Amino acid sequence: MAKEIRIGLVGYGFMGRTHSNGYKRVGDFFPELQSRPVLQAVCGRTEDKTKAFAEQWGYKSYETDWRKLIARDDIDAVDICTPNDQHAEVAIAAAQAGKMVLCEKPLARTTQESLPMVEAVEKAGVPNTVWYNYRRVPAVTLAKQIIESGKLGKIFHYRANFLQDWTINAELPQGGAALWRLDAAAAGSGVTGDLLAHCIDTAIWLNGSITDVSAVTETFVKERMHTLTGKVEKVGIDDACIFHCHFANGSLGLFESTRYARGHKALYTFEINGEHASIRWDLHDLNRLEYFDHSDESIVRGWRSVHITDGDQPYMKHWWVPGLSIGYEHTFVHQVADFLRSLEQGAPCPPTFRDALETARVCDAVLKSAAERSWQNV
């Protein structure tokens, strides 16, 4: 009989749905796991919407006050899917109550806000993880394995983009469902914390620490109506950010993110160039990893496009037969599976809060560099 891990989900927006889907699917596709999540309660401020979410997704109960959720004896793990400004308070209280804590990215708005979260989970000794889900795209995990095998040799370049176009309309307000991402008070920052944080998490995982950065940011729409005050107010987030950096391994990094790249919806790409080989990946074609190996016979040497659907490639033996692909939502199933496995093994489930603190430090350095127009050490 599988051990039950009773989940209390805080927040029921887009991310609440992705995580809930992960909890629901994991047992069917990872039957070897000794534990299984139970959708025990969902918490949201608006009662009718929270109740409707609970009914739709099969949560056994609901709460409208996260403090009550955390105080419940029948909750083992608190999963935070709120806007960024609430992550710290909920996570610290959950850790102090002895709950496991899963937190949507970024860990919090700043390093300063993130540090007490790390201290709280470490002091309480509770399992913790941050949902940087793109690590768990099979092709991205395969990239990690290829790099660790040494096939790339010395790495020279790491290049990443995360391009979107959904905030070009100046009539969009700041604040409200999904649009809290445009409100600096709720989000902390714009594309840096929302999108570059993904790129930085993957980069540190694949290529090691970033030591120093030089960045530029721009806010193209400088005023927007604020849903809380009903007035047109200054926009405090970065709409676009470009930075370059050094990695501790001696390689150079180049990163760009914007929500103003007309035509691009979620174009997360990275390319890594090593001495012997290169790899590149594109979220819009997420089941493929492109690979160039200079040791191939010269007459057939070229970029290969590897379709990651075979059972011996990461995660894929849990899904369909070779040739048949999976999607974005599966990365969250993988994260739940890895979290449950880490509990069984008594091991951390990366990225832990401490791992995500390093990403927060890079984001802070990027924003400081742009504000001060100078290089910043991380």
Least distance between ligand SOE and beta carbon 257 (Å): 10
Contact 101, 5 (CB under 8 A): no
Least distance between ligand SOE and beta carbon 102 (Å): 15
Q: Identify which of residues 142 and 191 has a Cβ nearer to ligand SOE in the complex.
A: 191
Contacts (CB under 6 A) with ligand SOE, residues 128-167? 164
Least distance between ligand SOE and beta carbon 137 (Å): 11
What order do you get walking across the sheet with 288-293 strand by strand?
304-307, 288-293, 277-282, 267-274, 155-163, 252-258, 240-247, 210-218, 376-377
Binding segment for ligand SOE among 19-27, 36-44, 191-199, 342-350 (CB under 6 A)? 191-199
Given candidates 76, 79, 194, 358, which one binds ligand SOE under the rule CB under 6 A?
194
Q: Identify which of residues 182 and 343 has a Cβ nearer to ligand SOE in the complex.
A: 182
Contact 146, 280 (CB under 8 A): no
- The C-alpha atoms of residue 147 and residue 278 are separated, in whole angstroms, by 9
267 sits near ligand SOE (criterion: CB under 6 A) = no
Contact 131, 351 (CB under 8 A): no
Nearest residue to ligand SOE on Cβ basis: 194
Q: Identify which of residues 158 and 162 has a Cβ nearer to ligand SOE in the complex.
A: 162
Query: Considering CB under 6 A, how many residues would be counted as binding ligand SOE?
Result: 6
Nearest alpha carbon to residue 59 among 1, 3, 17:
17
Given candidates 228, 252, 261, 266, which one binds ligand SOE under the rule CB under 6 A?
266
Sole residue written with tokens 């990690």 = 144
Q: Identify which of residues 199 and 370 has a Cβ nearer to ligand SOE in the complex.
A: 199
Binding segment for ligand SOE among 114-122, 193-201, 240-248, 334-342 (CB under 6 A)? 193-201
Contacts (CB under 6 A) with ligand SOE, residues 86-105? none
* 124 contact partners, CB below 8 Å, separation of at least 6: 95, 96, 98
Nearest alpha carbon to residue 54 among 70, 65, 43:
43
Q: CA torsion sign, 78 to 84 to 90 to 91? A: positive
Least distance between ligand SOE and beta carbon 358 (Å): 18
Q: Give the angle subtended at the CA of 240 by the CAs of 249 and 157, to the nearest 5°.
A: 20
Contacts with ligand SOE by CB under 6 A lie at: 164, 181, 194-195, 198, 266
